[in-house]
Amino acid sequence: MNFELSILLAAFAGGLFGAAIGGLPAFVFTGFAVLMGVAAGLGGSDFDVLGSIAFGPVFGPHISFAGGAAAAAFAFSRRSLENGRDIAAPLAGVNDPMVLLVGALFGLGGYVFQQLLVGIGISGLTDSIALTVVVSAIVARLAFGRTGLLGDHTSDPEAESRGRFVPGGERVWVDYQQGFAQVVVLGIGAGILSAWMVTAFNAANPDYTPLAVVLGFGISATSLIFLEFGFSVPVTHHMSLPAGVAAAAVLTAGGGATAAVILGALAGIGGALLGELGSRLFLIHGDTHVDPPAFAIFIMTTIIIVVGLVIG
């Protein structure tokens, strides 16, 4: 655990940054920082760009993205933002310093909470950053939302007639990737690509494997810049990251590249399906953002780690 004042101040600023430009734009910067960190690692840099920048107090999703999502929820509660789930809106535009400060406080809280998870050993059993993103969003929902933890589908007759777990109308997450077949196909594609990159890096040098694990995630996160521009790109980082983790686990256990890619594809499918479950459980009937990909990532990572421990 590291609670140096300078780092705490950086986390405070990271959350403020996420609020100012919006949670989703901040997450795109996470993707770029991951790609930069992978490149720096391959180039032999002694500076840990991934740990200090991409997943640290500057662009860590539990800090900048979570701060932006919480600030959107707070702005919604003050009627400064029409939609509390709008993680794309740059909240500097609502011209309310309190909104930015809430983002900053959630960024600081995200850093502290994740460090506590590391300190008690939870980070060895799951993705502590993704778990922190989910916990942060739940706190924001309970503090600033009006629909309760799981949302309210009974206030809309159409939603009530469809049932809690059936999206439709405005009660959707990503409407063009919510069908079962579409989700599975995307999971297969993202999973295979991410897992194959892990095998390629591992074949070149096993020391590069940790870099490759997050490379697919970085590409997926960066691709969301096109979502900001209005293009119907898929959201896949909850597929590519579990796939990378699964592939690395197979290779570390002595498995071959083909097995790593196949299990990576299965992990991609699992992440895709869990993302949809998270969206229908927490998001589509709620009035603030609880992140489906983070929900899927921490659960899939836990499953992979536990299965690895069980089979030795």
pLDDT band at 1 (very low <50, low <70, confident <90, very high): confident
pLDDT band at 169 (very low <50, low <70, confident <90, very high): confident
Mean predicted confidence (pLDDT) in 147-176: 85
HSE of 185, CA atoms in CB hemisphere, 13 A? 8
pLDDT band at 212 (very low <50, low <70, confident <90, very high): very high
Q: What is the pLDDT of residue 312?
A: 64
pLDDT at 213 over 80: yes
Q: Rounded mean pLDDT of the chain?
A: 95
pLDDT band at 158 (very low <50, low <70, confident <90, very high): confident
* Residue 171 DSSP code: B
How far apart CA 49 and CA 213 sit, in angstroms, is 15
Q: 11, 57 in Cβ contact below 8 A?
A: yes
pTM, full prediction: 0.95
Can you tell me which residue has the tokens 């629909």?
147
Mean predicted confidence (pLDDT) in 117-126: 90
Ordered DSSP codes for 198-230: HHHHHHH-GGGHHHHHHHHHHHHHHHTHHHHTT
Cα dihedral sign for 58, 61, 65, 69?
negative
pLDDT tens per residue across span 238-279: 999 999 999 999 999 999 999 999 999 999 999 999 999 999
How far apart CA 114 and CA 48 sit, in angstroms, is 18
Share of the chain above pLDDT 70, in %: 100
pLDDT tens per residue across span 66-109: 999 999 999 999 999 999 999 999 999 999 999 999 999 999 99
Top-confidence residue, 218 or 169: 218
pLDDT tens per residue across span 17-57: 999 999 999 999 999 999 999 999 999 999 999 999 999 99
Q: 271, 238 in Cβ contact below 8 A?
A: yes
Top-confidence residue, 187 or 311: 187
